[in-house]
Each structure stands twice: as structure tokens, then as C-alpha cells.
Chain A
Amino acid sequence: MTTHLGMPVVAPRGVGHLRGDRSFPAAAKDALADTQLRRNLGHATTVIRNKRAAVVAELDDWEALRRAGEAIKTATMARLDEHLQRLEEQVIARGGVVHWARDANEANRIVTDLVRATGQTEVVKVKSMATQEIGLNEALEAAGIEAKETDLAELIVQLGGDLPSHILVPAIHRNRAEIREIFLREMPGVDPELTAEPRRLAMAARTHLRERFLRAKVGISGANFGIAETGTLLVVESEGNGRMCLTLPETLITVMGIEKVLPTWSDLEVFLQLLPRSSTGERMNPYTSAWTGVTPGDGPQAFHLVLLDNGRTAALTDPVGRSALHCIRCSACLNVCPVYERAGGHAYGSVYPGPIGAVLSPQLTGVEDNASLPYASSLCGACFDACPVRIDIPSLLVQLRAAHVDANRGRRVPTPEALGMAAAAWVMADPRRFANAEKATRAGRLLGRAAGRITTLPPPLSRWTASRDAPRPPAETFREWWARERGGRS
């Protein structure tokens, strides 16, 4: 692997939300014990999963669409630099300003300076993963600027002093009763008679937000797509809050990860079919907003596009791992993942949870800063089947595990696991050693002598026997039986 001119850099520490403060197994242990969380997640993921399955089954050419999405992304990544330059030229030609941010710190500084220059101390935000990734709200707050989330679920998370736990449905870990409590506690002027009826909750949020939209002078968004040929940015959403933020303020600032660029409008056709069906399980999303530079007398009169790297170029240098950059943030992999469904999004410690987060976060931060995430999967493969752009997440997980193991080969004291794996490989590489090891295993028969099963084993196998019995080794292995029965016949 080569680097040049000091690039590529991984996402810096100490800023943003790509790293957790605990390993996945430790964080998951607590989440698994939260029965309300388990119920909320189980219910929500099952509902979205079934909706997605139904609308995907309607299309005869779904597999062809997936392959087209994969092919467009692969081709785009291969010439990412050219497409980004074209995007920049077109945005500038149409009256926008383009900023390049190497990492989260640079992006936060650029956006903060831009808001400061307007003299405003309040901004409205469209739901955006990129700004969550870099911790923009915290950076703005430190500069005395209040960032107001306007997506309903982001609002719930923000009012609750919480963190998002899902890419598409950030408050998936909350149920209606919990949302009502948060609104009653945190929403100024809310009707004290508020019930947990979804319509009433939505109306309360609508009243609360409407006033913010009307007085906001600065809007901040992310982007689902950036079309290089015309310099157009797009946001795909369901609630209409995005449309308000993108059209009402005088200044619009868009933070977009560099991997979101598409060369042409005809490429978009594929993704506008893939994304809504994969994310919300809808044939078409209610609002698709597209804007190109600045239009005099219509919408924001100042437009800034911040192109964010923050580890993406580093991921691009890995010929296998780079396919994680093809992700269109639909969340289909989260909704089908048995690990996500039980442990929830916070256990991943990054704004990108679930299977895609387990392969994206370690690449953006460097694998050693998120070393437990590639192991947070049983490699069941449900994510690969659901992914609209065919990211082979299980294979990426396996490669990242190898990258982690290889990164630790230089340690002066190898881990017990590394020693065990090396020993096992040495034994298994030779049939005689292997047969002898099998004979040694037979000593385990003593453990299960009384009950015919083994209920306790020493560490690390104690982690197995904590909840499952282990099989009692047989009196005769298969190869011994074969030699006895069919001796010499192989």
C-alpha cells in the first residue's frame, strides 16, 4: 500500500462520532440486558424488513438494478478525482462556492467560519450522516451557534440528549411512550395533554419546528447524491423538513462525503429506484430535492459545498475495502442483521452502526481504532443479500479481521488467541499431529462422564459453556472408525 504527499489520512481522534469508548462486546452486553430496547428494535426492524421485502419483490429487474448500482459505483470510484473536479467546476460555474475538507476538524472549521460570517447564531439542519460523523453540532455549539435538527427522529434524539442509533431511523431505539416523555420534558410550550398517538406527536414536532424554519437564515444539509455533470446536489427524504431547510434560508451549506458523487443524471435513475425501496420500503420517497448553485430570486442566495474526506481516500487505497464507499446509506443491512437487531446501534460506538458500519468505521479511523467492529458479526450473509449495491460485507469483515491480526504480528508478547491459532494451524497442517490432538481431546470424555454432556470448560471456552453445553468427545473418531472398518481402503 502506498501513500503520497502525506495523504491519505484517517479520520482524526478527538472529534466526531466514529469511535466508541468501549469495545463492541462490552457495549452490547449492556444493550442486550435492556428489555425495552430489545422490544423496540425487534419490532421496528421486523416491520421495515417486511416492507422492504414486499416492495423489492415487486420488481422483476431488482437483481439487474443491484448490479447496475454496483457497476456505477465501482466505475465512479475508479475516477473519483475527475468526477469531483467536474462537480467543483459546475458548482462554481452556477454560483456556488466549493470547499475541500481533509478531515472532520477542517470541515467543522469551514462550516463554523461560514456561519459566523453571516452573523447568525442559529442554523436549521437537514438530517445528515456526514455532519453527525464529524460532530458538527458540537463544534457549532462551542462557537456559540445553536444547530437545530429538523428531521423528526433527529429532533427526538437531540431533545433527548441522545445519540442516533440507526442510519435512517436515528430514534429507532425509542418507542412512542418514550418520545412523548421526551417532548413533554424538553419541548418548550408543548401541550401538557400530549398523548403518545403518532399523529399527535408529529403535530407537536411540526408546531415546534415551523417557527424555526420561518426564522432561519442559515440551513445546513448533507447530500445523498452530487451530480458532477451539472453540479447538482440532491437530498432524498420523507418529511418535507429538508425541503424547508433547503429553500427558506438565505445561506445553504452542504457537507458531502466525497464518495457521494455520481457522474451523470442517468446514473441517478438507478439509485432513485434502489434507495427508497431499500431504506423505507417505499416505491418512491415523498420528497426529492435537487439544487444547482444559486438561482437569483429563488431559494438561498449563497450556497457552499464542503467536500469531506475524513478517511475516505484512505479507504479508497484498499482494493477490497473500498467497496464500503459504495454505500448509499439505505440501512437495509442494519434492518436484516441479527446482531444489530439485538445489540442496537449504540453498541457500535460510531454513527455508522450495523454491518456497513462494521466495515466502514474501521476503514475511516484505521482498523486498530475500531478493532472489535469487524468481529461484531456471525458472517451470516444477510447483509450482502439485502445491499442494493451488492457490497460483499461478509468478505470485507473477513479482510478487516486479517488486517487487524496482521497489524498485531509485531507485538513482543503475542496474544493468547494468536498463540492458540498458530498452534492449531501447526497441528492441523499435519494429519499425524491432527490425529494425536484428537486423541488428546478424548480426555474431555471424563468431563462429561456423569451426564453425557459438558457444562463447564476453562477460559476462553467458558464463554461457550456459560450458555450452552459442549458435546462430549466420542469414544472413537471418524478416522479411527474408518481405519478399523475399512483399514487400508482409501
Chain B
Amino acid sequence: MKIALMVTCLADALFPDVGRATVRLLERLGHDVAFPEAQTCCGQMHVNTGYQQEALPLVRHHVEVFEPYDVVVAPSGSCVGSVRHQHAMVARRAGDEALAERAEAVAAKTYELSELLVDVLGVEDVGAYYPHRVTYHPTCHSLRMLRVGDKPLRLLRRVRGMTLVELPAADQCCGFGGTFAIKNPDTSTAMLADKMRHVLSTGAEALTAGDASCLMHIGGGLSRLRSGTRTVHLAEILAGTS
């Protein structure tokens, strides 16, 4: 299957390993990965901060870039959530019904990584090897916006050599929330403190999740504490081999 990679602006600029791992994983499973180089950003930060007018050109650009492809994948529940739940809304609010319908068509073929693997490609054992003690944080938008359910866990349980430990209060937000972390830094940090306490209680070497943004937040806190616990994206674990 030919799959277009929506790498996300965050992974592109700051976490390229996440994009490389996604490519490596999908190619190992026998698929052809395309990277539409004109892609930029889905506009979620603008929409979630109230700048819907500014997000409109980004939505239009995203639709134009990904419209030609049959299947689009992003290693981010949050960015797929934006495509699926916000793009048509932004277009309609601006009175552009034609764009809204095109955005809905693109959204219908856009998948978060675990959705693509389990639902579309029908695999749970991706042949990965990752010899570490790992705990999994189900990010809010994967969990409650996309309803990915236990798909990431089903993939992780089949990884060889890995000890998967349960994260207490896993469904609680880490406090990132995009610009929330900047606009409400104290509340955000209080939420982060509890998330880190739970992560550290598992004794895991690494925390994984399907979103580089949440991992940047929790990882930034764990790094500040010199906790010795690192963060690793789901794609990086699934791409690992012996």
C-alpha cells in the first residue's frame, strides 16, 4: 500500500527520529511510504489558541497537499484529531463549505499510526524488538478524541524483549495542552508533577506514547529532574529490531 506520511511539524523540526522510525516501520512491513514535501503544519496550535482565521490557510494547504493520496498516516493522535475534528469546522466557520467537504474527505483517509497498523493494515505483531522496561501513557486526544482504545497496547504487547508495566492513573492528562502549558504554566506543572510521580512509580526505563508533543512535555519534566527515565515514541519502539 502506498502511504503518505504526515510527519507533523513538531516531529519534523524537533523529533525527526519519530518520522524516520515511522518510515522504517512501514517499509519493513512491505509498504511504500511517500513524504509530500510541501506539507507544513495542521494548524492545531492556532485553532486551539483561538486563531481560527489564521488557521484557515493552513487547513487549505494541508487539504491540497494530502488530497491526492489514498491513505495518510501521522505519528500523532493530536494532529490526526485536528485533521478529523477541526479542519472542516475551521472551513465552515469561515463560510467555505467546499473546503469543509474536501477537508472531511482528507480526514476520512487520515489515520493515527496505531489505527493504521491495527485497523487498516491488520497487524499487531510488527516484528519489533525492544529490550527495555517501558510504561505507556495514552494521550488525551488518542484516547478521547480518536478513541484508539487499546490499539497501541496491543501493538506493544507483541514487542519482543520488552517488559510493559501499567502506568497508574494513565488516562489523566499530563498538562501539556499546547499553549495551555504557556498560558497556565502553574496548573500545567501541577498536572505534570502528578504524571511524573506515576511514571517514576513504575520503575520504567522509558515512557512511551503516540504523541511527540505530550512526550516533549513529560520528557522535559523528567529531564529537569534528572530522573534517569527517558521518553520514546511508540513508532520508535515498533521500528526497533534485534
Given contacts A381-B144, A481-B20, whether A32 and B14 have CB atoms under 8 Å apart is: no
B185 is an interface residue with CB less than 8 A from chain A: yes
**Residues 468-485 of chain A: 1 if any B CB is under 8 Å from the residue's CB, otherwise 0?**
111101101111011100
B136 in contact (CB, < 8 A): no
Q: Which A residues are CB-close (under 8 A) to B16?
A: 474, 476-478, 481
Interface SS of B by simple majority: helix
B141 to chain A: which residues have CB within 8 Å? Answer: 381
Min CB–CB distance A481 → chain B (angstroms): 6
Complex interface: chain A residues within 8 A of B93 (CB): 402
Question: Cβ of A418: which chain B residues have Cβ within 8 Å of it?
Answer: 51
Closest A residue to B39 using CB positions: A431
B221 CB-CB contact with A under 8 Å: yes
A338 engages B172 (CB within 8 Å): yes
Given the known inter-chain contacts A401-B49, A425-B58, A438-B12, please indicate yes or no for A466 contacting B185, CB distance below 8 A: yes
Interface string of A23-42 (1 = CB under 8 A from B): 01100110010000010000
Question: How far, in angstroms, from A126 to B189 measured CA to CA in the complex?
Answer: 39
Residues of A contacting B172 with CB < 8 Å? 338, 380
Interface contact A338-B182, CB-CB below 8 Å = no
Residues of B within 8 A of A460 (CB): 182
Encoded as 1 (CB less than 8 Å from any B CB) or 0, chain A from 365 to 407 comes to: 0000000001111111110110000000001001001111110
Which single residue of chain B is at the shortest CB-CB distance from A24?
B184
Whole-angstrom distance between the Cβ of A246 and the nearest chain B Cβ: 39
Query: Contact between B175 and A378 (Cβ–Cβ < 8 Å)?
Result: yes
CB pair B180 A478 closer than 8 Å:
no
Tell me if B161 counts as interface (CB < 8 A to partner A). Answer: no
Q: What number of residue pairs across chains A and B have CB atoms under 8 A from each other?
A: 199
B184 and A28 contact, CB distance less than 8 A: yes
In the complex, whether B162 has a CB less than 8 A from a CB of chain A is no
Among candidates A25, A385, A398, residue contacting B184 with C-beta atoms closer than 8 Å: A25
B29-37, B98-106, B127-135, B148-156 - interface stretch:
B29-37
Contacts A342-B191, A429-B61, A460-B182; A379 near B48 (Cβ below 8 A): yes
Cα–Cα distance between A430 and B12 once the two chains are bound (Å) = 15
Provide the B82-126 mask, 1 if CB < 8 A to any CB of A, else 0.
000110010001000000000000000000000000000000000
Closest to B218 in A: A468
The interface residues of chain B lying within 8 Å CB-to-CB of A377 are 177, 180
Check if B39 sits within 8 Å of A455, measured CB to CB: no
Which residue of A38, A429, A461 is within 8 Å of B182 (Cβ)? A461
**Shortest beta-carbon distance, A34 to chain B, in Å?**
11
Q: Please report the C-alpha to C-alpha distance between residue A342 and residue B188 in the assembled complex, in whole angstroms.
A: 10
Bound-complex Cα distance A291 to B186 (A): 47
Q: Which residues of B contact A29 (CB under 8 A)?
A: 186
Q: Which residue from A421, A430, A453 sits with its C-beta under 8 Å from B54?
A: A421
Residues B50 and A343 in contact, CB atoms below 8 Å apart? no
* Cα–Cα, bound, A271→B38 (Å): 51
Contact with A along B37-76 (1 / 0, CB 8 A): 1111101011111111111011001000000000000000
- How distant is B69 from chain A, measured CB to nearest CB, in Å? 11
Query: In the complex, what's the smallest C-beta–C-beta distance from B161 to chain A, in angstroms?
Result: 27
* Complex-state Cα separation, A478 to B19, whole angstroms: 6
Question: Given contacts A471-B14, A478-B7, A482-B37, is CB(A381)–CB(B182) below 8 Å?
Answer: no
Pairs A-B, 5 closest by C-beta atoms: A378-B177, A468-B220, A401-B50, A381-B144, A405-B50
Q: A398-B47, A421-B51 are in contact. List 9 more A-B contacts (CB 8 A).
A: A376-B184, A378-B191, A395-B89, A429-B61, A469-B224, A471-B14, A474-B16, A477-B16, A490-B34
13 A-B residue pairings within 8 Å (CB atoms): A378-B175, A379-B140, A382-B173, A385-B144, A401-B48, A402-B50, A421-B54, A428-B43, A455-B224, A464-B185, A464-B220, A469-B219, A474-B15
